[in-house]
Structure 1
Amino acid sequence: MADDKNAPPVKRVSRACTFCRARKSRCDLEASGGQPPCGRCRKENRECILASSNRGGSRVRKKTLLTTTTTPIHSLASVSVDAQHALPTSTSHLQSPETPIDSSVLEPISSLTPNPPDNHDSDGDSPIDSTIPRNPSDAWQLLRDVAKDGPIATQTASNAAANGVLHTNQGETAATRAARGSAGVTHTGLATYRLVREGYLTAEIVHTLVQQYYQNYHCYLPLVPRSYFGKDALDQFAVSDKHLLTAVLTIASNDLVDQPHIHQSISRYMHDLVSGVAAGHDCDVEAVEALLLLAEWEPPGLRNNIEVVGRGEEDRSAWMHVGMALRTGYFLSLDRTAFRQESDEEAKIDARKRFAWANCYVSDRLISVRIGRAFWSRGPGPMTGLSTRDFPTLQPQFDGDEDYAKVFQAQLDLTQLFSNVHDVLYSGMRSSNQMMLLGDYVKYVDDFRTAIDRWQMTWGNIQCSQHIKITLDMSYQYLRLYTNAFVFQAQISQAISKKKKDKPLREHLRQVFSNVGAMPDARFIWGSVAAAKQFLNMLATQVDPTRHLRYMPLRFYLYTIYSAVFLYKARSFGVLNDQEQRAVCTLIYSCIDVLRQASLSPHHAGSRYARLLELLWMRPLKLGQPYHPMRSPAARSDSQLSSTGSIRMDAGGYMQYSPADFSWLDLEAVGDFVSGDPMPNQVAFMGMNSYQNPAHFMPSPDTMNWQAQNSVAHFQLDLNGNLLF
C-alpha cells in the first residue's frame, strides 16, 4: 500500500503515434519515456511516428458527459479490484506438490485488474471528442477509454485507497504485474509464460515443441506468423500471443507419447485460456487463431473421455471451437477486413487479421459440411475479390520457399464450392426432400460438377510440395463425392415413394439398384462411387502415414471414414458387383492399415477410426477368432435379428447389412451400428416396457409390425434431421 502511494506520477504526453491515432486507441509511450516506439508498434514490429499535436482552436468540452459517468465507472473499477481477491483461481487443478502455483499471479486473475491509464491527452487526443459510436458497445468502449485517461480514474484510485481497497500501481502495466513472481522476482520474456514460470515446462521444451510444430503441422494451416519460429522470437511469442503459443504447444505435445504429463499440463492450461475467451476476457486476433488451430487438430487432452472407437467426437469439439472463433472475430471486427482496403499500407496492416478471418470462413464451411449443420456465419465472407496479394505473409520469402498464398487461394475457391453445394442441396430436410422427389436437382448438380471440373483445371497442377498438394486433391475428390451422393439419396427417396405396400423395403431397394445403368441418374451414382474409391486409393497409395498423414488435419481422417461408410452403404444396396466388392474390401483393409501406421497411440484419431472401419467391414465368428470380410448381402432363411432389431446374423455368424440404419454422414450413428446399440429412430419406435439390455434386446412383434408398416414415412430422416443415406 505504501509503495503504491509513494509511486511517482505517471508521465502524461500530449501526442500519439500516427497508427494509434488512426485507430482511435491508446498509445502506450510510458514504457519508453514518452518517445517512440509505443507499446503497440513495438509488439507488431511497425515503424512508430509521432503525430502532430491537435491542440489549439475552439473546442467544446463534454464536461457534462464526463461528470455523469463518474459514479458508475468508479463503481465498476472498485468491483473489478475486489473481484481480483474474491474470485478463486480457475486453474487450481494444475497444482502439484513439486511446483505449487501462486494464485496471486495467475493470468486469468490478472486480466480482471483495471487497465493502466491511457497516454492520450484529455484535451487533444481523447477518442470521445472525435469518434461517433455506432452501437452501445462502441459507446461503452469510449467511456472506458475516458475513465482510464481522465481525472476520473485518478479520483477512483484515490477513493479506493482511502476506503482501504488494495489497488495496483497506476504506472505498472498488467504484463509487468503478471511477470512479477511471488518472491518479488521480475521475469521477462519466455519466463513470464505461466507454464514456464511455474515449472511445468522449460525453455528448451518450449523451443523443441515449437520447432516440431513448424516442421510437421504448420504447412497445412500457416496461421502462426513465421517470425515466431526462430528461437530468439520465443520471448515475444510468449509475451504477446499466449493463446496461440499454447495452442501450438498443445498440438505438438500430443506426439510425446512417452511423456503424457506434458500434454496433459499444456492441455489444462489451454482449456483455461479457452474458458477465459468464452467468459469474455480480453484477447486479440491470436486467440482466434488459436481456436482455429484447435479445431483443425482437436488434441485429445482437451476432452474428458476418449473412446477406443471413433464416433465423431472431434467434429463436435471442432464445431464449438469454430463457433467461438467466429464470435470472437466478429467482436474484434475482423469481418471488416474481408473487404479490400483503399491503400496498400492499410492492407498490409490488416493482413494478419484478414488471413485469420478468411480461415474462420473456411473452417466454418468445412465443419458444417462434415456434420450437416447450418453455417455459423451468414454474413459476407472473404470472397470479395481477395487474391494472393491480400495475404503478403504467405507469399514466398526466398527462392524455393513454399507459396502458401496460392495454396490458400485454391483452398478458398474449393471452400466456396463446398459452401454452394451445401447451401443448395443440403440446406434443410424439407427443401432437400422436396427437391429429391420432384427431380429438379439435376440442373444444380450438373452445374456444380462443371464448376468442380473447372477448379480442377485451374488448380490441379499447382506447384507446391506433394504432401500439401495431396490435401487439395483429396478435398477435391471428397467434394465430388459430397455432390454426387445427393443424387444417390434422391434415387432412394423416389424408389421408396413408389414401393408397394406388400413388398419388403430392403428387397424393393435392392431390385431398384440392381441395374444402375438403366437409371436416369446413373452417371451421378457412378460418379459418387468413383470419387469415394479414388479418395481411399489416394490415402492408401500416395500418403506417407508416418511422415505426413500423422500430422494432417483431422478432416482428412474423417473424410476417409465418410468415404468408406458411403461405399458400405452403396454395397448394401447392391450397386457393387462381386468383383467390385472384393476390390473395395481390399482397398478398405489397406486404408485401415495406413490409419494404424499413422497412429502413435490407441488414443490417436487414426487408431480409433481404423477400429470403427474394422468393426463396420469385418466381424469375428467367435470371440478370439480373426476377422473376416462379410459375406454376400443376400438374405438367408435362417437369419435372425440381432440386438438392434435390424442387423441380421446368418447361420455362419456373419453380419448382414441393412441399408436404412444410419447415414454415411452421421458417425455417431455408425458407432451405434457397429457397437450393437439401438439407432436413435429405433429407440423412439420401441416401447419402454420392451427395452432391456441392448445386448439381449428383441423388439416385440407389435413394434416390428408397426415399424414395417411405417418404414416408408420414417426411412428418410432420423431424429436429428439427417439424411439417412
Structure 2
Amino acid sequence: MADNKTATPMKRVSRACTFCRARKSRCDLEANGGQPPCNRCARENRECVLASSHRGGSRIRKKTLSISAPTTAHNLTPLLPVQEHRTQSNQLTPTSVPSLQSPQNLNDVHQNASLTAIPTSNPEDEASSGGESPIDNTIPRNPSDAWQLLKDVAKVESGNAAATIGVAQNGVGHAHPTQENTERAARGSGNVPHTGIKTYRLVREGYLTPEVIQMLVQQYFENYHCYLPLVPRQYFEVGAIDRFAITDKHLLTAVLTIASKDWVDQPHIHQSISRYMHDLVSGIAAGHDCEVEAVEALLLLAEWEPPGLRHNIEAVGRGEEDRSAWMHVGMALRTGYFLSLDRTSFRQESDEEAKVDARKRFAWANCYVSDRLISVRIGRAFWARGPGPMTGLSSRDFPTLQPLFDGDEDYGKIFQAILDLTQLYSNVHDVLYSGMRSSNQMMLMGDYVKYVDDFRTAIDRWYATWGNIACSKHIKMTLEMAYQYLRLYTNAFVFQAQISQAIARKKAETPLREHLRRVFSNVGSLPDARFIWGSVAAAKAFLTILATQIDPIKHLRYMPLRFYLYSIYSAVFLYKARSFGVMNELEQRAVQALIQQSIDVLHQASLSPQDPGSRYARLLELLWMKPLKLGHHIVKDSMQSPAARSDAGSQLSSTGSIKMDAGGYMQYSPANDFSWLDLEAVGDFVSSDLIPGQNPGMLAPLGGFQTGPAAFMASANVMNWQGQAAANNFQFDLNGNLLF
C-alpha cells in the first residue's frame, strides 16, 4: 500500500492532431477509430498529423514502446452518435429501395480488437501539447465564454481520470484501436465494420444504398448547386461520398432531401430522407453539437423548402413556404451566431486562418442574404443585428467560388452581385417598409419621394454594373428577376401612398370606390405618376421574363422558391392595380394574356400537383378567374371566353358594385381585403363566396368567425370603404404591412 501511495500517477496519452492542438480546440478522431484524419481536417481537406506528447508516466525520450493488449467494448467510442439510434417503437419501416445487408452490431466488431500505444515525447512540443490548463492565457468576455472554459477544464480532468483507470488496467497505456486493427478483428469474427458512407444512418438502417445517394448528390449538383453553391466542390468528386457522410451529415441530408423531391415515382425515398432531415433539424433546435455544415443545410432548406418537411400541403398555395423558410433562416442565424460565424465578416485573420474561415465567411454571408430576402417577402423585421458582409467583401474573399478551369462559372462575381443587390433590398425595406407609424407619417408628409428617387438611381447603377455579367443564361435570368422585383417593391410604396392620400382627400358624401377610380383613371395627372407607371412596368417585366425567357422544365423547375413567389406577388400586384382602374382596356388585355402565359409556365415547371408551381398557378387562376355566386347563380370570370358571360355581366352591372368592361371582363372594386404582399390573405380571398343578400363587392371568407390580424384587416377595410374611418386611418395590418 505504501508503494502505491508513493507511485507517480499516470496521465492519459494525448490524442490530438497538430492543427487542432494549435487552435486549442477539441480533436474528434472517433469517426476513424482514433486515427487521422480528424473531422476538422477532413472537412477542411488538410493533412492531419497526430502530435506527439510527453504527458503521462515516465518520460522516455527518443524511444518508442509498442504494447498490444486486449480491449473490451466499453473502452471504445462508438463510431456513430447516440442520438441517431432509434428505439423499436419509433423505428421507421424500410421501403422498397435497392437491397442492403442488415447492419451489424457494432459491439461485435470490437470484441477481439487489439491496440497499440506509442507514448513519445519531444521537448519542442511543450508549447503546443496542451499540457497547460485550458483556462490559461484566456480572458472570458461573457458568461458563455466562461462556461465554455469550465467545460473544457471538465473534459480534460475527466479524460485524465479515464486514462489513469485505463493505465492501471493495462499496465502502461490505453488508446483507441486503429482502423486497420478494428477491420482485422472484424474479419476474424466474421463481421463487416461500418465505415464511410455505411455509417450514415439511412444506409445503416437500409433505407438507401450508397449508389442511390451518389445519384441524388449528382442530380443536386447538376440541377440545384448553381443557384446556391454552398456545398464544397470537393464533395461532388468521385469517391468523396464517404467523407461527405462522415463529416457533414446535416448538409448531405439537406442535399438528398432537395434532390429526392423530384423522384415523384418513388415518393417513399423522399419521405424517408425528409424524416431523417426533420430529426436533424429538431436536434439543432434542441442544442445538439453542430458545425458550419448545419447552418449550410438550414439555408439550403430555406431556399427550396422540400414538401416532405411539411405536415399538410393545400391544393392552393397560400404562402406556407414563407413561414417555413422564416423559421429555417432564423435557426441558421442563431446557430451561426453561436458558432461565431459573424466574426468572419472582418478580414483580420492570418493566411492560414483565412483558409479555415473561407467556408464560414461564405456561410455567414448567405445567412445575411437569406435573412434580408425572407424578411422582404413576408414583411417582418430582420433577424440579423450583428455585423453583416457589407464590410468591403468582394469576390476574392470567397476563394471556394473562384473558377478552376476555363469555362467554369465565376460564382464569386455572381455572389458579389447578389450581395450588392441584397444591400439595396435591405435599405429599401428599412426606410420605406420599416413599420406602420413611420410609413404612415412618410405617406402623409410626402417626403418619401427623395428616398424613392435615390433608391431608383442606386438600382439603375447596380444594373449598369451587373446587368451584363458573364454567366449562364439561367443564372443571369435570376439576377434579372431579382432586379425587376426590387423595382416593383420600391415603386409600389408610392402607389400605396397615393391611395392613402386620396382617401384622406375624399369628401364624406362621395362613395370611396368611385372616388378612387376617378383619381387613378388619369394617372398622368398625379404628382407621382412616374412611380406608379414604374411599378406596373416592373411587374410586367418580371412576368415577361418568367413566361418567355426561362425554360420551365430545364431551369425554372429547379430555381429557388423565391422566384416562384416573386411571380405570384407580381401577378397579385397587377390585379390590385387593375382594380383601381390604372390600366386602360388595351393594357388590361395584354396583362391578362401575360398572366395566362405565366400560369401555363408554372404548370409546366411542376412534376406533380403538390409542387409550388402548380399550387400557385392554381392561386392565380382563382384570383383572375374567380367564380362569383349571386343567389343561386354562379358566374365565372374566365380570361378565355369573356363573351360567354355577357348575360351574367348585365345582371351584375345592375347591382352597381361590380362593373363589366367592353369585353365582358369583371372589374372588381378596390375594396378587396388583401395585400399584394400577403399570400395568405389572397388565399382567403380566392376561396371565399358571396353570401346571399351581401354586397357583391365585398367578399366574406369561409370558415365562420375570424380573429387576429386577418379579422383586423377585414374590419379595417370595411370601415375605410364605407367612409366611417378617420381620414388618417390608413390601411395597415397589426404587423405594419401595407394593405395595397
Q: Which range, TM-score by smaller chain?
A: 0.7 to 0.9
Check 1:671–1:153 CA distance in 2 against 1; reply closer, same or farther (3 A cut): farther
Match status 1:467 vs 2:474? yes
Find 1:367's aligned residue among 357, 369, 374.
374
Find 1:322's aligned residue among 324, 329, 354.
329
Question: Which position in structure 2 is the counterpart of 1:94?
Answer: 92
Find 1:380's aligned residue among 387, 391, 401.
387
Match status 1:667 vs 2:665? no
Whether contact under 8 Å (2:491, 2:531) holds in the other structure is: yes
Question: Which position in structure 2 is the counterpart of 1:142?
Answer: 149
Find 2:457's aligned residue among 426, 432, 450.
450
Check 1:528–1:255 CA distance in 2 against 1; reply closer, same or farther (3 A cut): same
Find 1:399's aligned residue among 403, 406, 410.
406
Question: Which position in structure 2 is the counterpart of 1:47?
Answer: 47
Whether contact under 8 Å (1:295, 1:322) holds in the other structure is: yes
**What amino acid maps onto 2:90 in structure 1?**
S
Deviation, 1:351, is 0.5
Deviations 1:432-482 (A, max 9, x none): 011011000010001000100110011011000001000000000000000
TM-score normalized with structure 1 length = 0.80
Whether contact under 8 Å (1:209, 1:249) holds in the other structure is: yes
Question: Which position in structure 2 is the counterpart of 1:698?
Answer: none
Question: Which position in structure 1 is the counterpart of 2:59?
Answer: none
Question: Which position in structure 2 is the counterpart of 1:221?
Answer: 228
Check 1:91–1:335 CA distance in 2 against 1; reply closer, same or farther (3 A cut): farther
Deviation, 1:365, is 0.1
Which structure 2 residues correspond to residues 435-514 of structure 1 after superposition, within 5 A?
A: 435-514=442-521
Question: Which position in structure 2 is the counterpart of 1:231?
Answer: 238
Distance 1:368 1:640 in 2: 41
Name the SS of the counterpart of 2:469 in structure 1.
coil
Structure 1 stretch displaced more, 34-43 or 413-422? 34-43
Question: Which position in structure 2 is the counterpart of 1:60?
Answer: none
Deviation, 1:344, is 2.9
Check 1:293–1:691 CA distance in 2 against 1; reply closer, same or farther (3 A cut): closer
Distance 1:100 1:719 in 2: 57
Name the SS of the counterpart of 2:139 in structure 1.
coil
Deviation, 1:501, is 1.3
Deviation, 1:380, is 1.4
Distance 1:30 1:264 in 2: 30
Deviations 1:226-252 (A, max 9, x none): 110123000000111110000000000
Deviation, 1:628, is 3.4
C-alpha RMSD of matched pairs (Å): 4.4
Distance 2:163 2:34 in 1: 24
Distance 2:35 2:272 in 1: 41
Check 1:173–1:444 CA distance in 2 against 1; reply closer, same or farther (3 A cut): farther
Whether contact under 8 Å (2:35, 2:178) holds in the other structure is: no
Distance 1:509 1:630 in 2: 29
Structure 1 stretch displaced more, 378-387 or 25-34? 25-34
**What amino acid maps onto 1:279 in structure 2?**
A
Whether contact under 8 Å (1:223, 1:289) holds in the other structure is: yes
Question: Which position in structure 2 is the counterpart of 1:24?
Answer: 24
Report how many aligned residue pairs link the two structures: 653
Question: Which position in structure 2 is the counterpart of 1:710?
Answer: 724
Question: Which position in structure 2 is the counterpart of 1:531?
Answer: 538
Question: Which position in structure 2 is the counterpart of 1:59?
Answer: none
Question: Which position in structure 2 is the counterpart of 1:112?
Answer: none
Which structure 2 residues correspond to residues 59-458 of structure 1 after superposition, within 5 A?
A: 89=87, 92=90, 94-96=92-94, 124-150=131-157, 154=161, 171=176, 185-458=192-465
Whether contact under 8 Å (1:193, 1:242) holds in the other structure is: yes
Check 1:585–1:636 CA distance in 2 against 1; reply closer, same or farther (3 A cut): closer
**What amino acid maps onto 2:504 in structure 1?**
S
Question: Which position in structure 2 is the counterpart of 1:108?
Answer: none
Gap regions ≥5 residues in structure 1: 1-8, 56-82, 106-118, 160-168, 695-700
Whether contact under 8 Å (1:618, 1:630) holds in the other structure is: no
Distance 1:293 1:137 in 2: 29
**What amino acid maps onto 1:664 in structure 2?**
W
**What amino acid maps onto 1:573 in structure 2?**
F
Check 1:569–1:35 CA distance in 2 against 1; reply closer, same or farther (3 A cut): closer
Question: Which position in structure 2 is the counterpart of 1:4?
Answer: none
Deviation, 1:406, is 0.3
Deviations 1:490-546 (A, max 9, x none): 101111111111111111111111111111111101000100000000111100000
**What amino acid maps onto 2:366 in structure 1?**
N
Deviation, 1:289, is 0.3
Distance 1:551 1:445 in 2: 33
Distance 1:400 1:194 in 2: 38
Distance 1:641 1:221 in 2: 54
Higher Rg = 2
Distance 1:173 1:489 in 2: 69
Name the SS of the counterpart of 1:94 in structure 2.
coil
**What amino acid maps onto 1:710 in structure 2?**
Q
Deviation, 1:722, is 1.8
Whether contact under 8 Å (2:200, 2:245) holds in the other structure is: yes
Deviation, 1:719, is 4.1
Distance 1:548 1:97 in 2: 30
Whether contact under 8 Å (1:37, 1:47) holds in the other structure is: yes
- Between the aligned residues of both structures, percent identity stands at 72
Distance 2:154 2:706 in 1: 64
Question: Which position in structure 1 is the counterpart of 2:668?
Answer: 656
TM-score normalized with structure 2 length = 0.79
Check 1:390–1:515 CA distance in 2 against 1; reply closer, same or farther (3 A cut): same
Distance 2:34 2:204 in 1: 30
Deviation, 1:20, is 1.9
Name the SS of the counterpart of 1:127 in structure 2.
coil
Deviation, 1:710, is 2.6
Name the SS of the counterpart of 2:639 in structure 1.
strand
Question: Which position in structure 2 is the counterpart of 1:607?
Answer: 614
Check 1:489–1:103 CA distance in 2 against 1; reply closer, same or farther (3 A cut): farther
Check 1:363–1:104 CA distance in 2 against 1; reply closer, same or farther (3 A cut): farther
Deviations 1:318-346 (A, max 9, x none): 00000000000000000000111343332
Deviation, 1:129, is 2.0
Name the SS of the counterpart of 1:663 in structure 2.
coil
Whether contact under 8 Å (2:11, 2:164) holds in the other structure is: no
Deviation, 1:24, is 1.8
Check 1:93–1:496 CA distance in 2 against 1; reply closer, same or farther (3 A cut): farther
Check 1:671–1:103 CA distance in 2 against 1; reply closer, same or farther (3 A cut): farther
Check 1:557–1:41 CA distance in 2 against 1; reply closer, same or farther (3 A cut): same
Whether contact under 8 Å (2:539, 2:571) holds in the other structure is: yes
Deviations 1:72-104 (A, max 9, x none): xxxxxxxxxxx979x985992623598999999
Whether contact under 8 Å (1:243, 1:270) holds in the other structure is: yes
Check 1:623–1:32 CA distance in 2 against 1; reply closer, same or farther (3 A cut): closer
Structure 1 stretch displaced more, 210-219 or 659-668? 659-668
Deviations 1:123-178 (A, max 9, x none): 7243222322222222222222222222576269979xxxxxxxxx984899x99x
Distance 1:392 1:533 in 2: 38
Gap regions ≥5 residues in structure 2: 1-8, 56-80, 107-119, 121-125, 167-173, 708-714
Name the SS of the counterpart of 2:328 in structure 1.
helix
Find 1:540's aligned residue among 547, 551, 556.
547
Name the SS of the counterpart of 2:239 in structure 1.
helix
**What amino acid maps onto 1:272 in structure 2?**
D
